[in-house]
Structure 1
Amino acid sequence: MNTSMQEKVGGREFTSIFLIAVGMKLSDITTTILFESGQTAGWMIPLLSLAFMLVAYVVLMSVLKRRAGQGLPEIVFTVGGKFGGGLICLLLFAAALLMTAVTSRGYVDIINVMVYQQSPLYALYLMLMAAAFYVASRGFAAIARISWVLIFLIEGAIFLLIAIMWQDIDWMRLYPWAGPGVLAIVRTGFMHSAMFGEIILATALVPQVTTFKAFRIGSAVGFIVSSLKISFLMAVYLSVFDYPEIIHIAYPFQQLTKNTSFGRVFTHAESFFIGFWLIISVIYFAFYIYLLAYLFGHALRTDRYQKLLLPMAGLVVFIGLIPGNTEQVRSYWELLISYSTVLYGALPFVIWLLDWNWRRRHAKT
């Protein structure tokens, strides 16, 4: 796939995309599900998932480094042939599509419950995906530039939120540190490693970044910083709401914003945070719609993947409307995370073996 005519993004813009794509998990159903599994040690799970996924990331980066300028689709078609490359691209596409659909449905549920209680769910879903499609249609460089402009505002808003709630934080509520037990936490961290599957999916976008070094640094910094941020915010949620009350709060981030106020003058500070969160959500799903179209286009071996943006947005809405309620959304999320962990964890090693076999065969000829 030739991207020479497309505008590439630099390291800072790519880092910003990653900080948003991974960091937004601190504000959705992910945190509640992790608290249900990890109890008072739930905030440690992102750190353990980070450690497990870093192993797969390092293995995959060793292959990408040998094939500078090529993204994951180009590499798998080279080392795996048309069938193997197409199969791997389709598997990644399917995993990303289903997770995007379930995650976006969770966001729409949040909007429906916290902001627009009287609006039909499907109408909110269509508006969110329409806005995301519009941003995605501007191109990857536009998504990157918007992310770069917003990232400092995002981090500032999070810092402000924590500063306002600081007096309500009781760090003693983090005890017992081990929660249900060390082995249980380690096992849960491993089984939820796919919550950071973006680190694998994003390797498809290597040709869209100016240099491989910029991609490597941007993805690593975005991945690690976002994981630490999620873990810290989860510790804040637990320190404010305590356990077991936290598992009965469907959306801890949104509930935290409802508890904030700027003195007696501005008592409804959640309006500021929720409005800002809605804007970031559009950018978040714009990135995923673009990534879905990019992966599927490469699976079909076509350069005209931009025309797939609208079908991808529609497919996300169609699949996302299947769950009947929030509990089903959580069940589907848990199921997808389990299967995706196997995919994202094993795939880098499979690609490494295919690359090793390809180099061995070509060294003889």
Structure 2
Amino acid sequence: MDNTKGKIGIREFLAIILITIGTKVTDNTPTSLFDKVGSAAWITVILMGLFSFIPIYLLTKLIIAYEDQNLIDIIFRLLGKYIGFFVIFLLWTTETYSIVINSATYADIIETMYFVKTPLFFTYIVLIGVAAYGAKKGLEFIGSAAWVSLIGLNIALFVVLILSILQGRFNYVYPILGNGIPEIMKESAMNASILGEFLYLGFIVTSLRSTNVYKKGIWIGFIYVTTVYMLALISYIMLFDYVSIVNLNYPFHETIRFIQLGFLTNVESLFLPFWLVASFLRFSFYLYISALLFGALFKIKQFNYLVPSIAILIVFLGLIPEAPVFTLINLRENFAYLTTPIFLFLPLILWITAKLKGELKK
């Protein structure tokens, strides 16, 4: 009997990582970094990677030690029924809130940058509706779609980065330290949850073909995402200068409207389809994780049937902000600050608990 049937391999897992975390460089996530640290935003990304290394390393050690269990099982096993329930509920709440903030941001990008005559409500319904369809189809569908889309997405992304760097000015990266070392260190530590999805990837370990797939995928994805994020922020600075870029809500989309590709006009129309596909897949995975966590809380095995209900909740909450751009940027900043301690310290707490219980001796 094939025990790997219905499970995803290294290609699909890596594709999910690159699309769900890597696409953050295309929304308003970089805006707050530029606003706080100026031209040193790219250095902040490197330090965020260093801060994130330890929790990701400890999480990987736990996953390998409990190779037949996912992170939900590990949390309940180490923290007990009641504390474990509270932790999973907290993670479900933060994940769902993250979907609300990010999906509202993406709907605003689509409406303000591309389809200005389309009502925001309609845009939001389509975005979450397509994502919900993918989430209900399951992780195997999401992984396969992500892998099929990955080559085109990467080509489009690197074309944008190369053109931005070639058409930009290197002297715009000065001053190298931006607003100063103290501010760089502060923002690096407080925004480490930008890479927080690596924590949620532990919930799908039992859907992977082996723990080796998890280990390889996590570290390859971690290095790749951090590198691409750093290069993207450098390209934004070189193209716009940090003085101007703080006034741009969505630097990536301003970039693809600004760069020139030979005799072609409306360059953004070439890259928009790739970005839309990545967006749909990103929120499909988010909705899948949200349904998985909710199902774990209340012992619902067929948790994929929860996806439509969660999607309706997301749309309802996401349409509440009256001034999307400014409200969502502030919400995203505060959310990053609040969730960073969870990302940094939960793996450490779990690892210490496992160590004290003598379950990491092997």
TM range (shorter): over 0.9
- Cα distance in 1 between the residues matched to 2:287 and 2:138: 11
- Cα distance in 2 between the residues matched to 1:262 and 1:333: 33
Native 8 Å contact 2:111 2:120 kept in 1: yes
Deviations 1:222-252, CA, capped at 9 Å, x for gaps: 1221111011011000000012100011111
1:120 aligns with 2:119: yes
Which position in structure 2 is the counterpart of 1:159?
A: 158
Native 8 Å contact 2:149 2:277 kept in 1: no
Letter in structure 2 aligned against 1:8: K
SS in 1 for 2:357: helix
TM-score w.r.t. structure 2 length? Answer: 0.95
Native 8 Å contact 2:167 2:259 kept in 1: no
Which position in structure 2 is the counterpart of 1:183?
A: 182
Deviations 1:89-142, CA, capped at 9 Å, x for gaps: 111111111111101111111001111112221111111000101111111011
1:213 aligns with 2:202: no
- Cα distance in 2 between the residues matched to 1:312 and 1:357: 38
Which position in structure 1 is the counterpart of 2:320?
A: 322
1:258 aligns with 2:257: yes
- Cα distance in 2 between the residues matched to 1:73 and 1:276: 33
Stretch deviating more after TM superposition (322-331 or 236-245): 322-331
Which position in structure 2 is the counterpart of 1:19?
A: 18
- Cα distance in 2 between the residues matched to 1:268 and 1:330: 27
Deviations 1:249-300, CA, capped at 9 Å, x for gaps: 1111101111234333x31111111222112111111110111111111122
Shift of 1:188: 0.5
- Cα distance in 2 between the residues matched to 1:28 and 1:184: 22
**Structure 2 residue runs without a partner (length 5+):** none
SS in 1 for 2:146: helix
Shift of 1:5: 8.9
Deviations 1:5-59, CA, capped at 9 Å, x for gaps: 9610001110011001110011000011111011010122221111111111112
SS in 2 for 1:217: helix
**Structure 1 ranges of 4+ moved more than 4 A:** none
Shift of 1:352: 1.6
Letter in structure 2 aligned against 1:340: T
Letter in structure 2 aligned against 1:323: P
- Cα distance in 1 between the residues matched to 2:274 and 2:165: 21
TM-score w.r.t. structure 1 length? Answer: 0.94
Which position in structure 2 is the counterpart of 1:350?
A: 349
**Structure 1 residue runs without a partner (length 5+):** none
Letter in structure 2 aligned against 1:279: V
Shift of 1:330: 0.9
Shift of 1:171: 1.5
- Cα distance in 2 between the residues matched to 1:250 and 1:79: 42
Deviations 1:284-322, CA, capped at 9 Å, x for gaps: 111101111111111222211111111121222122122
- Cα distance in 2 between the residues matched to 1:124 and 1:87: 35
Shift of 1:72: 0.5
- Cα distance in 1 between the residues matched to 2:5 and 2:331: 37
1:170 aligns with 2:173: no
- Cα distance in 2 between the residues matched to 1:343 and 1:167: 39
Which position in structure 2 is the counterpart of 1:301?
A: 299
